[in-house]
Amino acid sequence: MSDDQTTQIREAIQSAISENPVILFMKGSPDQPMCGFSARTVAILQHVGTPFAAVNILPDPRIRQELSGLSNWPTIPQLFIDGEFVGGCDIVSEMYESGELQQALGVEDAGEPGQAAPEPEPQEPAPLTIENRL
Amino acid sequence: MAATDAPATPEELKQRIEAGIPGATADVTGDGHHFNAVVSAPAFHGLSRIAQHRLVYDVFGAEVGDRIHALSIQTKAKAAERENSA
């Protein structure tokens, strides 16, 4: 493994987090999530109606490795709002149900608090991808 | 690897969380790969959700995402027990 490539990946992740007000690191893409937890988190973000960037961590295992090193969080998905790590699926779900997520995103609550998360809906392709620099 | 090759069980996770976080009480369900843990502990008091969940993840280190494929967590702070009795 090249240290240069690992550094490039880490810097690409840091740039993506600082340049996108809402960014989700996930398995798969919003229109094709590869894991139930990623799918649920995407569905919540779509339901509250916030635009968000998404990065698929699956193409290169080093993305996840570097991301988890930055966030000190072992699992995927991971949501960042305004450069701050917010949490994974469990925390995003709790925050959605309590209304804290909508508050953090500065959006009106599109659904009743306490409702179960909606099913994923198809959407546009991910607005951002980290290139696989191999 | 010897013991860690055995499939994880809800009972194992419960015991390790309760041993790893002082005063914690855990209810764990799961199928050997995907687990759900509801954890209460006095140590959670005053911590953010992220910090509370990290305490639970830290019990298992690199096993999360690997041997323990997925671990959903709900945390609750509980008051420290002040009784003198053990």
Residue A114 has pLDDT above 80, yes or no: no
B36-45 tens-digit pLDDT: 999 999 999 9
H or E element, residue B18: helix B10-20
Instruction: Give the position of tokens 């550094």.
Output: A7
Prediction ipTM score: 0.83
Contact B38, B78 (CB under 8 A): no
Chain A hits for B35, CB-CB cut-off 8 Å, are none
- Please identify every stretch of chain B with a pLDDT value under 50, giving residue numbers as ranges: 1-2, 84-86
Contact B35, B28 (CB under 8 A): yes
What Cα–Cα distance (Å) separates residue A7 from each residue in A13, A83, B6? 10, 19, 36
- Domain ranges in chain A are 3-105
In angstroms, what separates the C-alpha of B65 from chain A's closest C-alpha?
6
In angstroms, what separates the C-alpha of A74 from chain B's closest C-alpha?
7
If phi over 0 gives left and psi between -120 and 50 gives alpha, with beta otherwise, what is residue B65?
A: left
Using CB atoms, pick whichever of B54, B65, B72 lies closest to residue A90.
Answer: B72
Look at residue B75 and give its three-state secondary structure. Answer: strand
Chain A hits for B65, CB-CB cut-off 8 Å, are 74-76
- Domain ranges in chain B are 30-79
Using CB atoms, pick whichever of B53, B57, B70 lies closest to residue A37.
Answer: B70
In angstroms, what separates the C-alpha of A21 from chain B's closest C-alpha?
19
CATH superfamily, domain at B30-79 = BolA-like (3.30.300.90)
Mean residue pLDDT of chain A comes to: 87
Query: Average pLDDT for residues A58-62, to the nearest whole number?
Result: 95
- Asked whether the whole model's pTM tops 0.90, one would answer no
Q: What kind of fold does domain A3-105 have according to CATH?
A: Glutaredoxin (3.40.30)
Strands (E), A4-131: 22-26, 28-29, 32-33, 53-56, 78-81, 84-87
